[in-house]
């Protein structure tokens, strides 16, 4: 079997409501789809997400496609290594592109062998994946209502964005806890917004309401700061922006900087590298949570295969999928309460609807990942000293 073509398509799916966090406000979920065709008629699909999608699409099409044409798509490790070496001088952005290409290669391999991608990653540890309810920055009464709606649908864990005002965050978390009762897990995510002193004060302020963990309270490079927050507050710390790849995970382990890895298929450089991070976490006694870049149906299905094949994810995982107004898949992935069944067809087990792909390729929006479509004057900042 040989790769005969690789094409990419940029799409943008609207969210039901704007998603406001410490770094901006988003109104859509953008992605770059990767399609790989073979001379035996098997097609693989992948999805790239990340911070600079026009650049990611350009590098996949201009840099990676020439490396892959006429190659055997079943040699996934070999082809990923070629892309790794080719992008060694721009490793961080390269990983986002590699992740979508590897996803398509694994889709082909699963289809060729007649097995789900989860079987290629070690087999099914679980057949069902649990997700958490996602709450962005809104007024306390709005977040409380949203939280109660999630819990009424069966969600057992909530993730709440924080980081613009400690006092406002306190009011929001208090209202959420009052709305959902004592048994629902609440984790907060500052996305690097706080300085170490502000982080310690903020976590101490929020701790009485019962926190499952605090995610990335300080800037990504401050591993000592992560450890300081962890030790000073006694609240488990999840490393997100600090845990973008295998080398970064090793540094976190060496520093004992966190209790939890929030890892991403996209940032890690693909499913197999994300799985390698879970192996490190297992050895170090660190739990894992799967983070989200607002993956569409393809990326969410791929994430399910990783989660299905691993023992390392004891918590509910991140998704914005429930916030999407539509999807490139038709029908959309089905949620039963907070859970989805892992696709059990060959490969990823899902295929984009070409009509939806065409429709969302034409959707125009002016929002970016780091920025605020509603306030062009907003500048995201990390490591702030906040009131």
| pLDDT tens column, 299-309 | 999 999 999 99
pLDDT of 353 higher than 90: yes
pLDDT at 26: 84
Structural domains of the chain sorted by starting position, each given as residue range(s) with its CATH number in brackets: 3-115 (3.30.390.10), 119-360 (3.20.20.120)
Strand residues in the chain grouped as ranges (E)? 3-21, 24-38, 43-48, 128-130, 133-135, 157-161, 185-189, 213-215, 237-239, 260-263, 287-290, 339-341
Q: pTM for the full model? A: 0.94
Residue 116 phi, psi (nearest 5):
-70, 155
Rounded Cα–Cα distance for residues 62 and 67 (Å)? 10
Model confidence at 21, pLDDT cuts 50, 70, 90, reads: confident
pLDDT at 377: 72
Rounded Cα–Cα distance for residues 243 and 263 (Å)? 6
Rounded Cα–Cα distance for residues 107 and 21 (Å)? 33
pLDDT at 325: 96
Strand residues in 211-342 grouped as ranges (E)? 213-215, 237-239, 260-263, 287-290, 339-341
pLDDT at 371: 65
Give buried/exposed letters for 300-328 (b at 16+ CB in 10 A, else e): bbbbbbbbbbbebbebbbbbbbbbbebbb
- Residues 37-81: tens digit of each pLDDT: 999 999 999 999 998 899 999 999 999 999 999 999 999 999 999
Output the CA torsion 321→327→330→331 (10° steps): 30
pLDDT at 347: 99
pLDDT of 318 higher than 60: yes
């Amino acid at each position: 079997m040989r790769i005969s073509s690789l094409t990419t398509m940029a799409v943008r799916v609207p969210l039901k409501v704007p998603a406001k966090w410490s770094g901006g406000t988003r109104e859509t979920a953008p992605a770059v789809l990767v399609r790989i065709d073979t001379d035996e008629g098997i097609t693989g699909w992948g999805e790239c997400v990340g911070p600079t999608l026009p650049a990611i699409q350009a590098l996949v099409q201009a840099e990676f496609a020439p490396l892959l044409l006429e190659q055997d798509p079943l040699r996934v490790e070999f082809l990923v290594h070629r892309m790794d070496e080719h992008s060694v001088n721009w490793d961080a952005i390269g990983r986002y592109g590699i992740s979508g290409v590897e996803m398509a290669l694994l889709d082909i391999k699963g289809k060729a062998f007649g097995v789900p991608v989860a079987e290629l990653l070690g087999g099914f540890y679980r057949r069902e994946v649990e997700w958490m309810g996602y709450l962005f920055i809104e007024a306390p009464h709005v977040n409380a209502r949203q939280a109660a709606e999630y819990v009424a649908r069966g969600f057992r864990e909530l993730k709440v964005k924080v980081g613009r005002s400690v006092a406002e965050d306190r009011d929001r978390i208090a209202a959420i806890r009052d709305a959902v009762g004592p048994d629902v897990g609440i984790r907060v995510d500052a996305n690097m917004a706080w300085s170490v002193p502000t982080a310690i004060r903020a976590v101490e302020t929020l701790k009485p309401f019962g926190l499952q963990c605090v995610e990335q309270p300080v800037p990504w490079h401050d591993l000592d700061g992560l450890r300081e927050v962890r030790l000073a507050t006694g609240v488990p710390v999840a490393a997100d922006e600090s845990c973008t790849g295998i080398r970064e995970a090793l540094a976190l382990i060496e520093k004992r900087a966190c209790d939890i890895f929030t890892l991403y298929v996209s940032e890690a450089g693909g499913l197999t590298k994300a799985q390698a991070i879970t192996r490190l976490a297992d050895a170090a006694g660190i739990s894992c949570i799967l983070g989200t870049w607002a993956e569409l149906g393809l990326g969410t299905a791929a994430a399910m295969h990783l989660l299905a094949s691993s023992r390392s994810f004891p918590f509910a995982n991140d998704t914005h999928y429930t916030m999407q107004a539509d999807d490139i898949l038709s029908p959309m992935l089905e949620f039963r309460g907070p859970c989805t069944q892992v696709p059990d067809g060959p490969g990823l087990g899902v295929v984009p609807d070409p009509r939806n792909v065409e429709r969302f390729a034409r959707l125009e929006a002016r929002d970016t990942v780091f920025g605020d479509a509603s306030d062009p004057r907003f500048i995201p900042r990390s490591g702030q000293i906040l009131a």
